[in-house]
């Protein structure tokens, strides 16, 4: 199973415009179309409640949304088995469960707390990053308050438009790959 972390970032590393997580439309149409395509092609999508709350996903038969929260009881009325669930399970427990169920891929879409916890626990196989040619100065980063030393290897890089939006895919190096 492949676990993918996907984000869009500015050149100065911001994933939110001026720290406002409700501003969703700052990335290019190219990035939005790309993200929609990846989203539509993935069954298991993981996010934190901070990503879910400003713009709640609508459960559908094509996806199984996992919303990580410290207070799943708060969302019990929204649980729909096989479509959307709210959990306080650890990243390791979630990944193990879907590996046992034979899933091919998990997509982690945010936010920073969730991304950091999966990275810290070495559960990310690939990082798919869209780099937008913008600078916000103030905003959230996709990794927070954690000392990490994660090495990546570029898989692909595509220029998406004339402005210079880059769509990059990196493999996270683990174990033996780090020794090379």
User: Quick check: 126 pLDDT over 80?
Assistant: yes
Domain count, the chain: 1
pLDDT confidence band for 85 (50 / 70 / 90): very high
For residue 101, what is the domain's CATH number? 3.40.430.10
Question: Helix count (H) and strand count (E) of the chain?
Answer: 5, 8
Nearest to 146 by CA among 108, 117, 175: 117
Domain extent at residue 91:
2-179
Q: Does the model's pTM come out above 0.75? A: yes
* Structure token digits, residue 126: 């690939």
Nearest to 129 by CA among 3, 47, 2, 7: 7
- For the chain, what is the mean pLDDT? 93
* Structure token digits, residue 37: 């395509």
Nearest to 3 by CA among 37, 31, 45, 60: 45
User: Quick check: 179 pLDDT over 80?
Assistant: no
* Structure token digits, residue 4: 């993918």
Q: Which residue has the tokens 């033996």?
A: 176
């Amino acid at each position: 199973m492949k676990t993918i972390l996907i984000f869009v970032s500015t050149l100065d590393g911001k994933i939110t415009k001026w720290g406002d997580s409700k501003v969703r439309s700052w990335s290019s149409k190219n990035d939005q179309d790309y993200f929609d395509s990846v989203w539509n092609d993935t069954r298991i999508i993981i996010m934190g409640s901070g990503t879910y709350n400003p713009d709640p996903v609508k459960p559908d038969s094509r996806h199984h949304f996992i919303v990580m929260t410290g207070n799943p009881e708060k969302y019990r009325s929204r649980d729909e088995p096989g479509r959307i669930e709210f959990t306080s399970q650890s990243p390791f427990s979630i990944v193990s469960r879907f590996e046992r169920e034979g899933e091919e891929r998990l997509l982690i879409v945010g936010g920073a707390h969730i991304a950091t916890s999966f990275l810290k626990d070495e559960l990310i196989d690939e990082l798919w990053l869209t780099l937008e040619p913008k600078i916000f100065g103030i905003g959230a980063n996709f990794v927070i308050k954690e000392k990490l030393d994660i090495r990546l290897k570029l898989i692909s890089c595509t220029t998406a438009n004339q402005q210079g939006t880059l769509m990059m895919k990196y493999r996270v190096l683990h174990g033996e790959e780090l020794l090379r």
